[in-house]
Chains A and B, each alone.
Chain A
Amino acid sequence: MATKKKRTPNVQNDSWVVIAADSAIDTQKHNSDPAFVRLRNPATGAASLYMLSSGDTQLFEVKTFEEDFHSWFVGQTVQRDGRLLFITPMDPLYLILPYLVKSVKEGKFQPVHQVVMDEEFPACSRLLSCTRSLASLHQIAEEKEVGTLKFHRYSQEKTMNWLKKKVERTVIALKKRNISVGEGVKSTTYVRVKSETDCREEDYLRYAHGLISEYISEDLSKALLKHLELPELTSPKETEPPSKKRKLSDKPVEAGEDYTKFNSADFVRKPPKKMTAAQKSLAKVDKSGMKPMSSFFSPKVKAEKN
């Protein structure tokens, strides 16, 4: 207890604790191993880790549960890294979408193989091998067929409709799982006594929109908000609880419902209480030029230059 414990940096380890769908690790069909790949994260534009199943037929995203002070006991060993990796299925269209959006400037129909290219992340072309990719491209792009060749052009309208469907399906999933979406609820471990009948549809929509926005660019996220006809929350003020400052009023504070008041026989409005000697002397103090206490807790007004 007396000695201070030093934290040593996490050393590189070669094993992880992973939860993955069976389909993610199935190597039967294609005779190749599933592979971790680094691809451009559509929301941040930076690298993120994904996994392609055997034969690149399915895309999975990799998330990690990470909290301080966790370690694993694995068999007869201790794994210092207490992370838990989740490998969950993901629609490859989310990763293809940014490339199509980028190509819209050229305004023409193009073969999708020419669009989904990235010097930084050459693995991105493998996304097109996913069984869902080509089949669902029409959700976000117009298609033209010339002979055996297919050409695509990004469509914002189609994309918005597709994303709206995603949001709606997410809302259904949120309701099914009883996930608290209200603004007031900040903790997932917070248990409501009342059932969530007071949760508005808008709360669900907004929450689902936020979730989908984790997979699309900021611009698309804003456009989607409009498409869903949700008012944009511009300033952080609106998301914060109302300020605690009370309205000052000369009227005495009374309870809204006081049933005892007029029933008592000796009810008379009492004159305001007399101040004590100490209060009186304090009231007499010259307060000119003094700031009220509350001014220290409100946004700073720029000091006037004299």
Chain B
Amino acid sequence: MDLGPFESDNSVSCRLASQIPDVCRTEDCCLGIDEAGRGPVLGPMVYGICFCPVSKKDELKDLKVADSKTLTEAERENLFEKLDEARSYVGWALQILSPNTISTSMLQRTKYNLNSLSHDTAIGLVQYALDSGVQVKEVFVDTVGPADKYEDKLSKLFPGIEVTVRPKADSLFPIVSAASICAKVARDRVVKGWNFAEDLGEVDPDYGSGYPNDPKTKAWLLKYLDPVFGYPQFVRFSWSTAQTLMDSKGVTVHWDDDDEDGEKAAQRQNNKSMLSFLSVSAGGNSQNPTHQAHRFFSDRRLKSLDTL
């Protein structure tokens, strides 16, 4: 697995893929989807697909791939090796969603939540397999959100493919377990060798699991909080753990889509009462004692000053 393409720019989303085995182009295939790194506040979320001919399902079982969560890191690496050795009939593809991608998606003006991001990434990977000529006939997915809704969505998008969405799919279907191993291995490697784009000097690598409730992770987050910039791009800014820390320890930053409460915000933004539009203004502008700047200036937000 060559992580080079992602490591050259870890601020964006990146796709890595194996060679497509020839047999997958001619025979009906099954495809499993799983993700790694959904919960952590640190590092990327990795989506993986694995596919093999339906006829080879048993051979995959013999590799004893199992749910990645039940395995140690060494066991996972070992299994990934085995999958790699089986490259004549097993193919895989990964989408690495950088923490920066996650942050900017979730925090942009029109919010793009993690579930939509997950769904779209999964769909993108299935489409990639189809575009590469893989004869996908069955898809197995570990669920994100309600299983039946997700299953409906995928079935509609990919007519002719039998879609099975099931919680715990990674322990039920070997092909999903294989996908989960690919995803998990990629995430582990990326997180271990994270290239910090920021000039932080020697970064303390002891950030624990990256999960918000890990004390090591919390301590690390406290240590690397910059009052102005917050965190390096390694951290998911959209996680409430990061936000709470930035709110309490960092400088307050106001954005113009911040929620502010009614009256005050309206006054600050110079909003007029709805009623004022419904009646001809009593008195009109001519009696307004304050000087009304010409629209050349008001349109351009230009004002006179009386002091600096």
A residues engaging B (CB < 8 A)? 1-8, 16, 36, 38, 41, 43-44, 46-49, 61-69, 78, 85-86, 179, 186-188, 207, 210-211, 213-214, 235-237, 296-297, 299-300
Contacts and interface: CB of A to CB of B under 8 A. Distances in A.
B254 A46 contact: no
Given A236-B281, A236-B284, A65 B291 contact: no
A211 B228 contact: no
A166 to B, nearest CB: 14
A43 B291 contact: yes
B262 to A, nearest CB: 12
Contacts of A300: 279
Given A1-B240, A6-B252, A68-B268, A297 B278 contact: yes
A188 B299 contact: yes
A297 B302 CA distance: 34
Nearest to B259: A1
A46 B306 contact: yes
Given A1-B243, A8-B252, A66-B301, A207 B307 contact: no
B263 interface: no
Nearest to B238: A1
Contact of A66 (B254, B285, B303): B303
Contact of A44 (B291, B299, B305, B308): B291
29 contacts: A3-B244, A5-B254, A6-B252, A7-B254, A36-B308, A38-B307, A47-B306, A48-B305, A49-B305, A61-B304, A62-B304, A63-B303, A63-B304, A63-B305, A64-B302, A65-B300, A66-B301, A67-B301, A68-B268, A69-B256, A78-B228, A187-B299, A207-B296, A210-B294, A214-B293, A236-B280, A236-B285, A236-B286, A297-B278
Given A5-B258, A49-B306, A62-B304, 7 more contacts: A2-B240, A48-B304, A64-B303, A65-B301, A65-B302, A69-B255, A214-B297
A170 to B, nearest CB: 10
Contacts of A5: 247, 252, 254, 258
B261 interface: yes
B124 to A, nearest CB: 28
Contacts of B255: 69
B223 interface: no
B261 A4 contact: yes
A131 B307 CA distance: 26
Interface of B: 228, 240, 243-244, 247, 252, 254-256, 258-261, 268-269, 278-281, 284-286, 291, 293-297, 299-308
A62 B252 contact: no
Contact of A86 (B261, B280, B302): B302
Contacts of A8: 252
Contact of B280 (A3, A188, A214, A299): A299
A8 to B, nearest CB: 7
A65 B261 CA distance: 26
A188 B300 contact: yes
Contacts of A49: 304-308
Contacts of B307: 38, 49
Contacts of A237: 280
Contacts of A187: 299
Contacts, number: 92
Contact of B304 (A41, A69, A78, A213): A41
Contact of B254 (A44, A64, A69, A179): A69
The 10 nearest A-B residue pairs measured at CB: A49-B305, A69-B256, A236-B284, A210-B294, A44-B291, A299-B280, A188-B299, A47-B306, A63-B302, A48-B304
B242 to A, nearest CB: 11
B91 to A, nearest CB: 41
Name which of B228, B258, B260, B299 has the most chain A CB atoms within 10 A of its CB. B299
Contacts of A297: 278
Contacts of B244: 3
Given A235-B284, A237-B280, A3 B247 contact: yes
Contacts of A186: 295, 299
Contacts of A69: 254-256
A78 B255 CA distance: 16
A189 to B, nearest CB: 9
Contacts of B240: 1-2
A273 to B, nearest CB: 33
B244 to A, nearest CB: 8
A47 B307 CA distance: 9
Contacts of B247: 3, 5
Given A63-B302, A66-B303, A210 B252 contact: no
Contacts of B258: 5
A2 B244 CA distance: 9
B240 to A, nearest CB: 7
A297 B228 CA distance: 50
Contacts of A66: 301-303
A62 B305 contact: yes
Contacts of A65: 300-302
Contacts of A2: 240
B109 to A, nearest CB: 13
A46 B304 CA distance: 11
B306 A38 contact: yes
A62 B304 CA distance: 7
A34 B258 CA distance: 41
A86 B304 CA distance: 10
A2 B246 CA distance: 12
Given A1-B243, A49-B306, A65-B302, A211 B256 contact: no
